[in-house]
Amino acid sequence: MGRRWVFLIGLVGAVWLLGSGHGGQQPPVTAAQRCFCQVSGYLDDCTCDVETIDRFNNYRLFPRLQKLLESDYFRYYKVNLKRPCPFWNDISQCGRRDCAVRPCQSDEVPDGIKSASYKYSEVANNLIEECEQAERLGAVDESLSEETQKAVLQWTKHDDSSDNFCEADDIQSPDAEYVDLLLNPERYTGYKGPDAWKIWNVIYEENCFKPQTIKRPLSPLASGQGLCVEKRAFYRLISGLHASINVHLSARYLLQETWLEKKWGHNITEFQQRFDGILTEGEGPRRLKNLYFLYLIELRALSKVVPFFERPDFQLFTGNKVHDAEKKMLLLEILHEIKSFPLHFDENSFFAGDKKEANKLKEDFRLHFRNISRIMDCVGCFKCRLWGKLQIQGLGTALKILFSEKLIANMPESGPSYEFHLTRQEIVSLFNAFGRISTSVKELENFRNLLQNIH
């Protein structure tokens, strides 16, 4: 029933757009309608509708989530931006100032975060600090308890296991540095042209499942005819991420620059070029619907991982106990708000067929995604690379959660969790990646209002 309504809504929108030949009987089509005429009602493969997401995100979730992401635990992200591209050598580095990333000085990062590196709780930090000084965990310090040694080895084994959907960044490398995400915001940098298009072309052409009838490499699938639900979902996730990034670039565009200051804001023309139904030959609105699909996937993962964060020994450890306790309370409030969302995506349809075929499909799914995470090291703009790596890792962490439901359910109420565990790096990327998608949904409301005044 939901898909029929989506088809009817899209059909009505298409007829309306073509209605200019009826002697002026149809009302004029506004700029907002050209971008958003098909972005309403139910989403393909979901029981949720766009309007429900807008209300939930923009008025109940977005303000609190932004407050959480401004805290010390979530604003500092360790990343290696100097890893060489593993696929080709002709990378043209972006020479624009806005492409640069300013890493943190040592005294700018809270001591608790630096000592914790990528672990997630004070207990784990204290027990494993000595072990992290060993060469890449190659040896286990015998002064640690037997239980802790076992936990370290289990965690390391799990981090390298086949359950991970992302190529792990080498944050222990001397080239890895902390970056303050608030001081290096995602916005338009001027990085475009053949080099930027090459990245997305490789992602779509070599890593996304798609039918042979697709017209253009950057033409996200409309309905996914001929693809199973898993492959269709994979394609829509990447398309949704691409759309979200383009929303950010359009919303934080360099509008004016003087020798005194730069003025950033909404570039309506840029948004229309990327999402207008006519200018994109019908693709733009479908890209926006894929953004909502991505939102539901990451929202569902956060609802599933609540038990991990509810455990009493989990802390958002920065070294400031009062601050850490307050932020954990805010985190749990947000997670319980997410859990209350009435129309969550049903991930049980994934890999539900024949076991052998399902396992093969899941492995293909994982390998494609890991390959995309490696492509991020080929991005020539360092700020784009930073946010690309973070959002890919965040989405990969969300997929890891969705496919670890039984492991999460079997976690002990306290003490080390051998089977399921998230590093600090995964936690920071998970919430910041969702924060980017949440911001995109909010910005769509802003663009919708701005476009209402354009005729």
Annotated binding site for FAD: 187, 189, 200, 239, 242, 274
Q: How far apart are the first and last CA of the chain?
A: 34
Is 104 annotated in the active site? no
Phi, psi of 79, deg, nearest 5: -150, 145
Is 381 annotated in the active site? yes
Q: Give CA–CA dist 368/355, Å, rounded.
A: 20
Non-local (6+) Cβ contacts of 17 within 8 A are 29, 34, 37, 277, 278
Q: Give CA–CA dist 124/196, Å, rounded.
A: 40
Query: Identity (one letter) of the amino acid at 340?
Result: S
Q: Which of 99, 104, 378, 384 is the catalytic position?
A: 384
Pick from 67, 222, 161: nearest CA to 407: 161
Annotated binding-site ranges = 187, 189, 200, 239, 242, 274
C-beta separation of 283 from 220 below 8 A: yes
Q: Give CA–CA dist 180/110, Å, rounded.
A: 11
C-beta separation of 435 from 57 below 8 A: no
Sign (positive or negative) of CA dihedral 347, 348, 352, 355: positive
Q: Give CA–CA dist 328/332, Å, rounded.
A: 6
Q: Which of 37, 94, 131, 381 is the catalytic position?
A: 381
Over the range 193-227, which residues count as b (16 or more CB within 10 Å of their CB) and which as e?
Answer: eebbebbeebbbeebbbbeeebeeebbbbbebeeb
Phi, psi of 292, deg, nearest 5: -65, -35
Give catalytic residues, as residue numbers.
381, 384
